[in-house]
């Protein structure tokens, strides 16, 4: 019986090639898009799931408050947190401390490699986390001072086939470290990535006689704790304030800029953590689930196509059902037959979808910035969703048509009295409305994303980043000669005609300043008046090079011997200090961690980071011998020749340091890369949703037109023009799309507003943002049905009426 079902189903597919092709292609596109999105979502949700004890591991993060108001949120906290919590709370089984550090040169013999980033890690790192050691003892690899653990790829680059254990390498051409372990390269789906770990014990020995283990005012340490099984994290979190008040003492209580420590589950970090000093740029949980919603829309639209086309063809297959029933077929057998057709069509669609996924995956990775690969084919994370899609699609898309077709009365069918029911027509129209409402919703969302990105890129930053070359700080430098090298380097560059200025700073525009200073207050005021500010270390030329607008006071100047104790505030910073008029702040002295500084200038607010972030209270602190990023302002002309001459001077004054540079506007705009990738992905799948919907609309228009062939013939005989007939056929679809617009617009308005709320500076929602998608979808839909409509209107009425 089953074999017979498949044989008949195959014959029906071949007999109705147009119907079958539209259904298979539509389903394949829907399933392929859904698979790609599901793999993206699965990858994002898989972050840090490989840790054996991941459910027990939490990161201790902190919120900072100014006078009871939340000011900043940090992934890192005080150095004393980990050991203090373990000593005080039996619920804490172990802890790990991590200190992020920058670029390094690693040398062994005549081999030298550059590493982008490394961490100082405490001794429990390899016993708490599931990063497997290939060589070395996980319990002791990071226990001693001046020891280092390398990734597998770095060890191979530096040592080849030689055993690295026990060997000595030099960091930054100077300091020797003993290799005590080699770990397997970290997977892509971890929120923490590094190629080298140095023992935290090295840091402790370097800062003696200070003891960071007791420091509650030293911030910047990433702390992870492992809780004992069964521990209530919220209950433990509630115990933190009392302990901190006890251990931090008066230093902690005297400022109103209090720190509150919170527990963050390890598995939540990647999608739900966007705080200061994150180990890596994280993903966005809202984006992930929004894409999951798009996947649902696309595949449902494809299934709706099948239901629409199958029920539209019901009248054409009515006689087949009547004959089958007349010769004894049971309704259950007919349902089985039609469900078999659904299974076969969905099966072909899944095969085609797999081919489309294989072809699209490399480009999808390029657009989305992900690292999905064909290795997923062997993963249950691939096959489970695929099988679920196939079963669900075959069952639900085939179920309703099967019951409709199998329910025809044989007597009525064979007498030719079967007509499309009102309920069936309403259902098909409702499904078309759903399809296009979903398409309009997605299209409005896509346009809103690109409109917001354009708005952010076109706004004035309040700081001039044009024609600016940024050079990364030198890695290797002799402290005793650095000032002379720096001064000579700047002087030599300024002699060149294609260079207008050069400045050094701890960060450049587009970077967050991790220098957060609490307790800053006016000289003579009570310590409780201290507030938090973000600090950027700069040299004398920073304001001039970046064309920062002074609204009060003056710039730093070498003409004033006191300027090494001078600071420049931005407008928001002086307001936080209590001055509504920036001029009133000039000449005022502030207490900055026990030192007294004088406010000599106030700049207008400027965007240090993207327009996603609000203005922050910033202090520019003069540091004449600053070893930071170099910003070189170029004049017009050939940039490549300017870069070549800068490289030459760099190699002369800072030998042994790689010349790493980029244009600042590219660096700044890189902050919008995630939004751009999201917009592209959103747009591509929106286009696919519209394409799938139009495929169904094309098929539906074909059958609707075929059913009205005789009506069109009669209208032409009675004098109707081709234009009037085409208008009649258009009218039904225009009404359906208009209803879709009415449904989609308020939903899209609400969703877009919710998304824009995450931006401090956002575009206004204009009327055209909703009307333009409606016009686009309407035009595409009318073009889709035009072929069948015009063909029917031009048909000779004799042809359609000769059988009457």
- Over residues 389-439, the pLDDT tens digits come to 677 766 766 665 666 655 555 544 444 444 455 555 676 677 778 888 888
Q: What is the chain's Cα-based Rg? A: 34
592 forms beta bridges with 595
CB distance 130 to 52 below 8 Å: yes
Task: Name every residue whose Cβ is closer than 8 Å to that of residue 739 and which is 6 or more positions away in sequence.
Answer: 433, 437
Q: What whole-number distance in Å separates Cα of residue 427 and Cα of residue 436?
A: 14
Q: What whole-number distance in Å separates Cα of residue 508 and Cα of residue 526?
A: 34
Per-residue confidence (pLDDT) for residue 436, from 0 to 100:
83
Per-residue confidence (pLDDT) for residue 414, from 0 to 100:
46
Nearest to 101 by CA among 158, 148, 152, 51: 148
- What is the DSSP code (8-state) at residue 609? S
Q: What whole-number distance in Å separates Cα of residue 732 and Cα of residue 27?
A: 25
Nearest to 533 by CA among 515, 551, 550, 554: 515
- Over residues 266-316, the pLDDT tens digits come to 999 999 988 888 888 888 888 888 888 888 888 888 777 777 776 666 555
Per-residue confidence (pLDDT) for residue 787, from 0 to 100:
66
- What is the DSSP code (8-state) at residue 136? S
Residue 312 tokens read as 């539209």
Residues of the chain with confidence (pLDDT) below 70: 1-16, 249-257, 310-338, 372-382, 385-386, 389, 393-394, 396-425, 427-428, 478-480, 562, 637-638, 699-700, 702-713, 715-719, 721-722, 787-804
CA angle, 565 then 568 then 572, to 5°:
140
CB distance 291 to 684 below 8 Å: no
Q: What whole-number distance in Å separates Cα of residue 45 and Cα of residue 42?
A: 5
Residue 796 tokens read as 């000779």
Per-residue confidence (pLDDT) for residue 758, from 0 to 100:
82
Per-residue confidence (pLDDT) for residue 1, from 0 to 100:
57
Helix (H/G/I), strand (E/B), else coil: 802: coil
CB distance 554 to 584 below 8 Å: no
Helix (H/G/I), strand (E/B), else coil: 778: helix
Per-residue confidence (pLDDT) for residue 495, from 0 to 100:
87
Per-residue confidence (pLDDT) for residue 717, from 0 to 100:
66
Helix (H/G/I), strand (E/B), else coil: 529: helix
Q: What whole-number distance in Å separates Cα of residue 542 and Cα of residue 631?
A: 9
Nearest to 199 by CA among 269, 332, 99: 99
Alpha helix stretches (DSSP H) within 111-192 = 125-128, 152-159
């Amino acid at each position: 019986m089953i074999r017979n079902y498949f044989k008949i189903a195959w014959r029906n597919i071949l007999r109705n090639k147009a119907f079958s092709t539209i259904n298979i292609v539509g389903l394949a596109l829907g399933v392929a898009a859904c698979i790609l999105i599901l793999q993206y979502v699965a990858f994002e949700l898989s972050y840090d799931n490989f840790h054996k004890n991941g459910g027990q591991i939490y990161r201790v993060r902190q919120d900072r408050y100014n006078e009871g108001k939340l000011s900043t949120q940090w992934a890192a906290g005080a150095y004393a947190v980990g050991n203090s919590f373990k000593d005080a709370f039996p619920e804490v089984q172990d802890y790990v401390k991590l200190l992020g550090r920058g670029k390094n040169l690693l040398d062994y013999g005549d081999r030298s490699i550059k590493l982008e980033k490394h961490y100082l890690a405490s001794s429990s790192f390899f016993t708490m986390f599931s990063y497997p050691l290939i060589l070395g003892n996980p319990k002791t690899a990071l226990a001693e001072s001046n020891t280092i653990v390398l990734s597998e790829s770095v060890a191979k680059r530096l040592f080849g086939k030689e055993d690295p254990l026990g060997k000595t390498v030099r960091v930054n051409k100077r300091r020797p470290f003993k290799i005590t372990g080699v770990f397997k390269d970290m997977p892509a789906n971890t929120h923490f990535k590094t190629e080298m770990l140095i023992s935290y014990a090295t840091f402790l020995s370097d800062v003696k006689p200070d003891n960071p283990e007791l420091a509650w005012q030293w911030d910047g340490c990433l702390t992870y704790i492992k809780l004992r099984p069964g521990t209530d994290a919220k209950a433990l979190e509630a115990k933190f304030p009392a302990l901190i008040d006890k251990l931090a003492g008066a230093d902690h209580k005297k400022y109103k800029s209090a720190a509150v420590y919170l527990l963050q589950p390890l598995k939540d970090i990647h999608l739900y953590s966007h705080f200061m000093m994150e180990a890596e740029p994280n993903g966005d949980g809202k984006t992930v689930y929004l894409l999951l919603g798009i996947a649902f829309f696309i595949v449902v639209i494809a299934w709706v196509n099948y239901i629409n086309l199958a029920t539209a063809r019901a009248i054409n297959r009515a006689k087949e059902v009547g004959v089958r029933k007349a010769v004894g077929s049971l309704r259950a057998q007919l349902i089985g037959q039609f469900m078999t057709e659904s299974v076969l069509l969905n099966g072909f669609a899944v095969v085609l979808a797999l081919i489309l996924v294989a072809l699209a995956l490399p480009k999808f990775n390029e657009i989305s910035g992900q690292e999905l690969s064909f290795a997923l084919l062997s993963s249950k994370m691939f096959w489970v969703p695929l099988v679920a899609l196939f079963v669900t699609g075959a069952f639900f898309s085939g179920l309703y048509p099967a019951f409709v077709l199998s329910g025809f009365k044989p007597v009525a069918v064979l007498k030719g009295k079967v007509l499309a029911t009102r309920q069936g027509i309403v259902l098909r129209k409702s499904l078309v409305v759903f399809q296009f409402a979903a398409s309009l919703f997605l299209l409005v969302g896509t346009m809103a994303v690109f409109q917001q990105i354009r708005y952010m890129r076109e706004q004035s930053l309040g700081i001039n980043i044009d024609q600016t070359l940024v050079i990364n700080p030198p890695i290797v430098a002799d402290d005793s000669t650095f000032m002379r090298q720096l001064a000579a380097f700047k002087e030599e560059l300024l002699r060149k005609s294609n260079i207008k200025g050069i400045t050094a700073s701890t960060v450049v525009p587009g970077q967050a300043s991790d220098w957060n200073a609490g307790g800053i207050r006016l000289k003579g005021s009570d310590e409780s008046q201290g507030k938090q500010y973000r600090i950027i270390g700069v040299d004398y030329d920073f304001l001039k090079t970046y064309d920062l607008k002074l609204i009060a006071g003056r710039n730093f100047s070498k003409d004033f011997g006191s300027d090494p104790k001078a600071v420049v505030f931005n407008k928001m910073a002086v307001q936080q200090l209590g001055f509504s008029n920036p001029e009133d702040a000039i000449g005022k002295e502030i207490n900055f961690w026990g030192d007294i500084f004088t406010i000599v200038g106030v700049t207008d607010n400027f965007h240090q980071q993207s327009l996603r972030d609000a203005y922050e209270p910033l202090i520019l602190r003069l540091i004449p011998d600053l070893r930071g990023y170099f910003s070189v302002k170029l004049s017009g002309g050939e940039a490549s020749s300017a870069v070549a001459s800068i490289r030459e001077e760099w190699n002369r004054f800072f030998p042994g340091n790689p010349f790493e540079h980029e244009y600042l506007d590219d660096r700044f705009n890189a902050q919008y890369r995630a939004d751009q990738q999201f917009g592209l992905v959103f747009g591509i799948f929106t286009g696919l949703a519209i394409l799938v919907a139009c495929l169904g609309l094309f098929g539906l228009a074909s059958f609707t037109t075929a059913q009205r062939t005789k009506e069109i013939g009669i209208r032409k005989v009675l004098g109707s023009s081709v234009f009037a007939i085409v208008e009649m056929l258009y009218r039904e679809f225009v009404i359906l799309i208009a209803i879709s617009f009415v449904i989609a617009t308020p939903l899209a308005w609400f969703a877009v507003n919710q998304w824009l709320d995450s931006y401090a500076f956002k575009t206004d929602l204009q009327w055209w943002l909703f009307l333009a998608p409606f016009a686009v979808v309407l035009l595409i839909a009318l073009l889709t049905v035009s072929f069948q409509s015009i063909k029917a209107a031009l048909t000779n009425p004799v042809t359609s009426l000769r059988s009457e």
